[in-house]
Chains A and B, each alone.
Chain A
């Protein structure tokens, strides 16, 4: 391999052959930096960003407008809103936007659409977790308002147990 014909410093790794209208052949040998500076190559960008992926999707999708108008019932975001901001609104969007998302996921993840890594441990009865506190406290307030003191006492104990453990 020879040196770059432009800077004469680095190894030439880009070898281009142009054939002009008259059929004359022109060869060029450049290093990566010079090739980039001459606008002959794009700077390496391994994975297209979300906006780009979405543009591609909408450009090729036959029912693009139908897909764009899908709305998630849980968070109220539409596919087109997601498309504009690049971020989903809630976990349910993965199901609500299943069809348009599938192609996006395939492109972003090398064709994969199925998770194979770590998963939550699901053994035994469901444990009480921190986010249950919010629900229990709300029920406690309801029980007190309804003067159901037996139920309130039970809820209070559950909350104490969760907070104290």
Chain B
């Protein structure tokens, strides 16, 4: 797979570390769930229907304005390692990677927009940007949705809105997810403030890879649950104007308090992380993410001067199992991966 070999060498757009509040807000993602009118949902679709849907959706994407020139991949023709690379880059979900039957994905060269065909719904469109850029993401995804609707009719109900396979997504079919880096709140043991704030607004909190995952590297994903009875804009405003500024403020306060009252403890975390990453000979993915998280905090609190944010962002991605094996050009066992990961990190951090 040529295109995937190339993409593994760079960080995705959403990991560029730019955009508003990017010291705390890693990325903003919006996803829309859509189903083609006149077809059963995937749980009732036989192999032929799935294939027909895949062809039909791919044709519609190819014909839609602004969606020319996307990379189209057939998941059935990719091996498990390539599919895992796409999951690590958040271009497809784990469910999509591990599913069966006709499944495709299309995404643009910058990996901002991605369209998953035959995941839980016939089509799931996502737009992902770095920092807090929900308005831009909404503008783009809504325009993609409009363009697709010039060539396709989606299942829509006057009362229930866009119909989805799972009733928890019905209506707008929107899922807004903001990924946050909250190392100081974890160090000061104040994460419960964040959980409380999210709970009050009926938002879900998950780890780095979404549903059912741990908060590796102090990264948390906050997303809406309610999709019916509120407009897309209202849902986005909850994030943009209410929850995100509040959490950002908590994290900033925790960072300030660490700098002011517990500087030695903060420095100790940062420099131990650097020491470990510059010297370890074997390191697991979760350990690497934890220390990279502390380095990132070091950069953003101004305690670490000689490390580029870009290097850290690339390492976040490239130290994950599938990326590591792709970069190495061979399949590796767990222990081999720990060795290769440690070597890669040492090489990158000494170059700084």
Contact = CB atoms under 8 A, between A and B. Distances in A.
Interface of A: 9-11, 13, 31-33, 44, 46-47, 50, 74-77, 85-91, 94-95, 101, 104-105, 108-121, 127, 129-131, 133-134, 165
B149 interface: yes
A46 B170 contact: no
Interface string B220-238: 0000011111111000000
Nearest to A122: B156
A117 B198 contact: no
Nearest to A116: B231
Contact of B159 (A13, A31, A113, A134): A113
B153 A131 contact: yes
B41 A90 contact: yes
10 contacts: A46-B199, A75-B41, A87-B165, A90-B41, A114-B229, A115-B228, A121-B149, A130-B63, A130-B152, A131-B153
B229 A46 contact: no
A47 to B, nearest CB: 4
B275 interface: no
B44 interface: yes
Report the contact-size class of chain B (Cβ under 8 Å from the partner). Answer: 35 or more
Contacts of A76: 44
Given A94-B157, A118-B142, A120-B154, A50 B166 contact: yes
Contact of A91 (B41, B199, B205): B41
Contacts of A127: 150
A117 B203 CA distance: 19
A75 B230 CA distance: 29
Interface string B118-131: 00100000000000
A113 B192 CA distance: 32
B226 A110 contact: yes
B350 interface: no
A10 B40 contact: no
A127 B225 CA distance: 34
Contact of A110 (B39, B162, B163, B202): B202
Which of A113, A117, A119 has most B Cβ within 10 Å? A117
Contacts of A10: 189-190
A1 B59 CA distance: 61
Contacts of A133: 56
A51 B304 CA distance: 48
B104 to A, nearest CB: 15
Contacts of B227: 109
Contact of B145 (A32, A89, A90, A118): A118
A94 B169 CA distance: 13
A47 B204 contact: yes
B210 interface: no
Given A115-B171, A118-B145, A47 B225 contact: yes
A124 B52 CA distance: 28
Contact of B225 (A32, A33, A46, A111): A46
B172 interface: yes
B225 A131 contact: no
A129 B43 contact: no
Nearest to A95: B157
A32 B40 contact: no
Name the 8 nearest CB pairs between A and B, nearest first. Answer: A112-B229, A115-B161, A10-B189, A32-B192, A109-B228, A91-B155, A117-B172, A89-B44
Interface string B41-68: 1111000000010001001100100000
B1 to A, nearest CB: 28
Nearest to B155: A91
A110 B161 CA distance: 16
B155 A85 contact: no
B174 interface: yes
B38 interface: yes
B289 to A, nearest CB: 20
A87 B166 contact: yes
B9 interface: no
Contacts of B120: 87
B36 interface: yes
A50 B92 CA distance: 23
B156 A117 contact: no
A9 to B, nearest CB: 6
